[in-house]
Amino acid sequence: MGGWRDMSAEALEQQYSPSRWSPRLGSDTIIQAHIAATAAGTQRARAGAETSLHVPYGAGEGERLDIYYPTEPSGTFPALVYIHGGYWQCLSKDESGFAAPPLVSRGVAVVAVGYDTAPRGRLDAMVLQVRRSLVFLAQRYPGIRGIYLCGHSAGAHLAAMALSTDWSEYGAVPDIRGAVLVSGVYDLEPILHTYVNDALNMSREVAQRNSPVLCVAPAPAACEVLVAVAQHDSPEFRRQSREYGQALRAAGWNVSLLDLAGVDHFDIIEKLSEESYVLTQMILNMVSRA
């Protein structure tokens, strides 16, 4: 059969260590550089926008979100909901507002979602938290006209799980009109065999239940999905993006695949702070089409 099942443990660890694949920086420095870049970008965004910070969407410690309002909000406005990465065990909403400046200046609110990361948080709970944050937005902020999900890495996984939701169980249906999934993981089974699972402590059952590629929902009437991957993502990350995009397409979803040249697992998302960046422009175009 080939594929990841035939890899040695060492090869699998390499494939699922994004920091080892960047040509820009060494694996020991690139993660610190990423945290610094996103934190600084978030500070700039908070200084330059009207915000509601640390808004509780539930009772849990991590169940908070930050809202960056459009510079000139009309009565209603679209919202980009950003779900951070960090392999489900690091980062937070406090480094997740860096994409706001070019979007709020064009009338789009940005919402950075917090969730309980591992080891305190468990994967089932994180998926539920993200879903509940979207229901909260739909119920509490009637001014939001259309939700656009954007997730990076583990956050792309959580956003993809939100796309698989049966909302009939939640009391409200978020108006999700688009999703931008960036350098994500959509099949969690390989993760079971890597260091990443040390903190997550997933069983095979949990991994399968929370693998977006295994639980693709029927295609909604109007939701556009962009699955983006970096040239300098690992072959496994690139395979996962391709196969998840194919699974969505097979189920009738409106999906595009974007293979971005010249970027790695980290700057593919960091550059969302720039209005001229291709992914920023694609988000703005997606919002304008709805």
What is the set of active-site residues? 153, 233, 265
Query: Cα–Cα distance between 240 and 187 in angstroms, integer?
Result: 7
Using the CB atoms, write b or e for 101-117: b if 16+ within 10 Å: bbbbebbbbbbbbbbbb
- In whole angstroms, what is the distance from residue 279 CA to residue 270 CA? 10
- Direct distance between the N- and C-terminal alpha carbons of the chain, in angstroms, rounded to an integer: 42
Q: How many helices (H) and strands (E) does the chain have?
A: 10, 8
Residue 230, phi then psi, degrees to nearest 5: -90, 150
Tokens of 197: 């699972």
Hey, is 114 helix, strand or coil? coil
- Helices 154-163 + 123-140 axis angle, to 10: 60
Strands 144-152 and 77-83, sheet pairing: parallel
